[in-house]
Structure formats: C-alpha cells, structure tokens
Amino acid sequence: MWLVVLLYQLGLIVRIKAQAPESCTSSVTNRPPENSDITVSCGTDHMALSILLCPIYQALYNESLMVLNNKYTKPECFGTANFSADPPVLNFRFPINETSLKNCGTSFKIITGIGTGQFADFSNVQDVNISGTVTSSDPSAGMITYRPQILYKFSCLYPMQYLLNNTQLGVSGVTLAINDNNGSFISTLRLLLYRDADYDEMLLVPENGLDLKTKIYVAVVATNLTNKFNVLLDRCYASKRPHPDLNTYYDLFVGCTRDAQTKVEINGESQIARFSFEAFRFVEDQNLTVSTFYLHCVTRLCEVNTCSSLKPNCDNTNRRRREAQTVSANATVSSPAINVNKQEAFLASSSNAKGPEDNYSKPVVAIIICISILAVLLIGMSAYFFFFIRPRKPLIK
C-alpha cells in the first residue's frame, strides 16, 4: 500500500507546472482562493462546476491536483482547464446518475419536509440534496508543506414535486425538458392518452368530439430518471382553459377523494402513473355542440422505499381537502384538446310540425294497416257465420 502512495506522490510532483500560465499573470483573479471562486449549475441530467483557475495556481496547485471528493484514483473525477476563458476556469461536469455519483463519492441525500404552496396540504414532501467537495491534493513528499489546503463545497437541491400541466392532453406524447433555478431531477415528463385498457392504442380526439362516457386512459411517464424514484400523482383535474385554472374546474381525484367514474390504477408504484375516467361535458356548454376541456395533473416524485408513506391515508376520515388556489406552472406539454359532443335527440321544431303518423316508421305503419285489415275481415266472417251459416233449430208442434 505504501508503494502505491509513494508512486502517486511522485506522479503528482511530475505533473506540477513550474509557474502560472500567462493568462493568469495579468488577471484580476490572480490572488489567493476565496469561497466565491466556485459557480454551481444544477442541470436536469448533469451538474456542472466552474472554479476560477488562477487562485489555484496562486496557491501553488494546478488543475491536475484538484479532484472531486478526494477520489484521485478515478480519472472521471478530475476537471478540465479552460485557459481561453476570461478569466481562466477549471470545469467539472458529471451526470446525475447512481454510477457517476458513487464513483466520485458525491453525497446523495433525501430530505423530507412539510409541503408549501401548491403542496401545502401534504405533510411529507421530499427533496434530493446532492453535495460534495473539490479538494486539493498536496504533492509534497516530506513531513511538512507550505501549500494551503483548498476545499470548495458544492450542493444542489432538486425538488421532487412538479405541476405537470397537460394543456391539451398529451395525445402525441410531447416531451419537455424541465430546468428551473433549483434544478430538476426529471429530465423528461410526458402525459399520454390511450383508448384501451392495455395502454397500447393512442387516443385521437375527433374534431366533432368524443361520445359521452367514452373511456379515456391516462399515463404520466418520467424518463431518464434514476430507479430510486417513482411518479406520484397527488391531484388531476379538468378545467375550461388550457392553463391551470381553478375558476371553472372539476376534480377527477384529489388524494383519496375521487370522481365516481375515475379509477386510479397505478400511482407511486413505478415511473409510470395510470388512471382512467369517462368523457363528460361541462354544464355551461349545454348550448354548444362540442364541449372542450383540458386536463392538469399535480405530479411529484417519491423515493421508492417511502412512496407508500407519502400517499394519503384514505382510511382517515379527518383528512383535509385542498383549498382552491392559484396554480403556478413548472412544465407544460400540449396536444389537441378533449372535445365531447352533445349527443342530444332531434326534436321537431314548431315550423315543421308533424302529425301522429310521422312518429312511426314505414314498416311499422304497414304492419298496423295489415293488422287492421285482418281484424275487419275476421269481424265480417264472424257476423256472416252467425247470421247465415249457423243451422236453425226445428219448430216444435
């Protein structure tokens, strides 16, 4: 073991550059390291670090001596120097997946807290905290050193809760990458509509609308997502507007409260959540031929081992129903709107009134006429038989 350490130390000495590059000589960043030297970017599928390079040289180190979490035996844990940048920087970029985080010793921690805002009714809401350090590796082989220890700390907080606004129902499976100031742990969310219970055939909504009570099967899918998490739907509702709106809306389900025709099939059990409901019309559209509405689903992620505890307790009769509040959009996928036709009976207008005989079809009228003729013939034959054919009794003298 001591031989490996000795060889590593000798390798570091060979890799040390004698002096700072020319780009640092006149740079304002040619000074001792400071906490503000590092910039962290929390992306959807990668994390990126950018550290000022000149202070590192000023402290008698270089890019080959800076490594993630002291993992100096892993080549992928070292950064790349960019001397053409102004000022020069040392860049680290690594994917957010279990293999990469484990190899470079980056910490991955689940944080559970009380929901706020759109999730105010939920007592358990989870976030993912990814953190680590970039440290200097001192190449000094002796017992003492004159180099200061450099340590940069970084972290990203990824909320595992999102509002997925399917503005016009994801018939075509439109995908959208999510990226906000705090980062996001989902790279792609999709909301898909199907016409069959096996979720094989996509549902195409005709312009003249679906028939009332048509079964609609919905799937919310997360892709490029680590297998540590599942998709959990907290609420799905329909509104008259393409964007989240709580002025005219109808809840398909909110936690345990569900519409009678809505069936939640898979929720919080995998990276696909599924439910179904029947096509309906808003009452305010009673004078319209086609009633149009849009679907919105409040979606979050849950850690596989804790999903069951995050689901609402449907046996608790004291559960609270969420209050109506303004919905702020985090991601939106769009597709053709859901149209439902009127399906009402055709009524005769006063200007085109019909007689009683118009209420019957031609075959029915023919049958009625035949029955009437047969009835007249039977009555006539009976009368003729009674008065003329019947034998008369002889007179008794």
Q: In whole angstroms, what is the distance from residue 8 CA to residue 31 CA? A: 28
- Three-class SS state of 365: helix
**Measured CA angle at 346 (ends 344, 350), to 5 deg:** 130
> Within 10 Å of residue 203's Cβ, how many Cβ atoms?
19
Q: What is the pLDDT of residue 315?
A: 60
Top CATH class of 161-312+320-341 equals mainly beta
Judged by DSSP in three states, 4 sits in helix
| Structural tokens at position 159 | 């909320």
Place of tokens 């809840």: 251
Say whether 371 sits in a helix, a strand or coil.
helix
Residue carrying structure tokens 């390798």: 11
Nearest to 137 by CA among 20, 59, 48, 83: 59
Dist CA 378 CA 371 (whole Å): 11
Helix (H) or strand (E) holding 90: strand 89-95
Question: In which residue are the tokens 């994801």 written?
Answer: 170
- Rounded CA separation 187/45 (Å): 6
Q: Give start-end residues of each CATH 2.60.40.3210 domain in the chain.
A: 2-159
Q: Which amino acid is residue 107, in one-letter code?
A: S
Q: What are phi and psi of 126, to 5 degrees?
A: -110, 150
pLDDT of residue 334: 32
Count CB atoms within 10 A of the CB of residue 298.
22
**Residue 195 in 3-state DSSP?**
coil
Query: What is the phi/psi pair of residue 127, to 5°?
Result: -130, 160
Q: What secondary structure letter does DSSP report for 337?
A: P
By C-alpha distance, which of 283, 275, 231 is closest to 253? 275
Beta-ladder partners of 191: 220
Tell me the pLDDT tens digit for each residue of 202-236: 998 888 899 999 999 999 888 777 677 888 888 88
CATH 2.60.40.4100 spans which residues of the chain?
161-312+320-341
Q: What's the CA dihedral at 276, 282, 285, 290 to 10 degrees? A: 0
Task: Tell me how far apart the terminal alpha carbons of the chain are, to the nearest angstrom.
Answer: 152
Q: What are the pLDDT tens digits along the chain (397 aa)?
A: 444 444 454 454 444 444 678 889 888 999 999 988 999 998 777 889 999 999 999 999 999 999 999 998 899 999 999 999 999 999 999 988 778 888 999 998 888 777 666 556 566 677 888 999 999 998 887 788 888 889 999 998 877 766 665 543 333 333 333 344 455 555 567 788 899 999 999 998 888 899 999 999 999 888 777 677 888 888 888 888 877 666 778 899 887 788 899 999 999 899 899 999 999 998 888 888 999 888 888 787 788 888 887 776 666 544 443 333 322 233 333 334 688 888 654 444 444 444 444 455 556 666 777 787 877 777 777 766 666 665 555 555 4
- The β-bridge partners of 107 are 131
Residue 224, by phi and psi: left (phi above 0), alpha (psi -120 to 50) or beta? Answer: left
Q: What is the CATH number of domain 2-159?
A: 2.60.40.3210
Residue 324 per-residue DSSP state: P
Sequence-distant contacts of 29-37: CB under 8 A, at least 24 apart:
29/53, 29/54, 29/55, 29/87, 29/88, 30/54, 30/55, 30/57, 30/58, 31/55, 31/58, 32/58, 32/59, 32/148, 33/58, 33/59, 33/148, 33/150, 35/152, 37/152
pLDDT at 272: 93
Cα radius of gyration (the chain): 38
CA atoms of 160 and 184, how far apart (whole Å): 8
Under a CB-based contact definition with an 8 Å cutoff, are residues 205 and 216 in contact? no
Q: How far apart are CA 80 and CA 378, in angstroms?
A: 109
